[in-house]
Amino acid sequence: MMKIEILGMGCQKCSNLMDATKKAAAELNIEAEFVKVEDIKKIMSYGVMTTPALVVDGVVKVSGKIPSVEEIKALLQ
């Protein structure tokens, strides 16, 4: 199962990224565990300086912007 983390401090952009990522995963029929990471130390451990960020299986895929559902689907495949 894929592990998808959304890094951010709980802002609207973080919520939007979570919603878009869940939609992308559903459209691809990907079974995933979704985790929201709000701990600043954990966020910084990924080397992320701007949020929101999308982490897939421990690898930062996007930081500082909200990609479209189509862009997220490409990142998940």
Does the annotation mark 14 as catalytic?
yes
Instruction: Select the CATH number that applies to the domain covering 2-76 from these four: 3.20.20.70, 3.40.50.300, 1.10.3720.10, 3.40.30.10.
Output: 3.40.30.10
Q: Give the global pTM.
A: 0.95
Does the annotation mark 4 as catalytic?
no
Residue 68 binned pLDDT confidence (cut-offs 50, 70, 90): very high
Q: pLDDT of 6-61, one tens digit each?
A: 999 988 999 999 999 999 999 999 999 999 999 999 999 999 999 999 999 999 99
Give residue 8's pLDDT.
96
pLDDT at 71 over 90: yes
Give residue 10's pLDDT.
85
Annotated active-site residue in 14, 43, 56, 66: 14
| Placement of tokens 């459209």 in the chain | 27
Do the beta carbons of residue 21 and residue 34 sit within 8 Å? yes
What are the residue boundaries of the structural domains of the chain, listed by start? Answer: 2-76
- DSSP string for residues in 30-71: --EEEEEE--HHHHHHTT--SS-EEEETTEEEEESS---HHH
Cα 51 to Cα 74: distance, rounded to the nearest angstrom = 20
